[in-house]
Amino acid sequence: MVRYRRNFVPGGTYFFTVTLDDRRSSALVDHVDKLRSAFRVTRAERPFTINAIVILPDHLHLIMTLPDDDADFSGRWRRIKSLFTHRLAASGVPISRNDRGEFALWQRRFWEHTIRDDTDFERCADYIHYNPVKHGLVASPIEWPYTSLHRCVRAGVLPPDWGGPGEINGNFGERGD
């Protein structure tokens, strides 16, 4: 078996794909308020910058930058996943359990890529912002409500009609879709 080695870089910027165990679920958008709260609490406890994000029904993509002296993105993901899961369970949302009795909401791992340079950052951010179109959820990226694209448009970084005809290609930790 191949052992995956993560690249821990203090102050690094990373692209992530984090997925629910049930790919038919829409829990992330159905309970986006609880997910946002999990992010807020985690950021207050262990700061990080959200450079770009999209929340889809069953997975999310994020570019995260860590503080200069910190490389623990895994601990942050563990906290976000745990907070979200426990808040769902506390609100009465049924969540299946695995053989060990643990909640089985999330896939155990996540896909991570260390951002190498500005070109790589832009490629990953474009992928994030175009992802709702890729999955057939909207015709134009600006139509999707759970994306940092809106922040980029307000800041004048991207025009409101960004992501018109065309396609953003690449393998970003998603199953062959």
Asked whether residue 171 is domain-assigned, the answer is no
pLDDT tens for 9-19 read 999 999 999 99
Q: Is 85 inside any structural domain?
A: yes
Q: How far apart are CA 65 and CA 127, in angstroms?
A: 17
Neighbours of 12 (CB within 10 A): 17
For residues 73 and 14, the answer to whether their CB atoms sit within 8 Å is yes
The average pLDDT across 103-130 equals 95
The total number of structural domains in the chain stands at 1
**Structural domain contains residue 45:** yes
Q: What is the pLDDT of residues 128-139, one digit of tens each?
A: 999 999 999 999
Q: Is residue 2 part of a domain?
A: no
* Amino acid present at 4: Y
Count the neighbouring beta carbons within 10 Å of the beta carbon of residue 167: 8
Is residue 97 assigned to a domain? yes
Here the CATH number for the domain that contains residue 30 is 3.30.70.1290
Look at residue 167 and tell me if it is in a domain.
no
Neighbours of 142 (CB within 10 A): 21
Query: Is 162 a domain residue?
Result: no
Residues marked active site are found at 146
Show the domain range for 54.
13-154
Q: Is residue 163 part of a domain?
A: no
What does the alpha-carbon distance between residue 94 and residue 150 come to, in Å, rounded to a whole number? Answer: 32
Residue 2 has pLDDT above 90, yes or no: no
pLDDT at residue 100 is higher than 90: no
Dist CA 177 CA 171 (whole Å):
10
Give the neighbor-by-neighbor strand order of the sheet with 111-114. Answer: 49-55, 59-65, 13-19, 111-114
Condensed to tens digits (0 to 9), the pLDDT of residues 42-81 reads 999 999 999 999 999 999 999 999 999 999 999 999 999 9
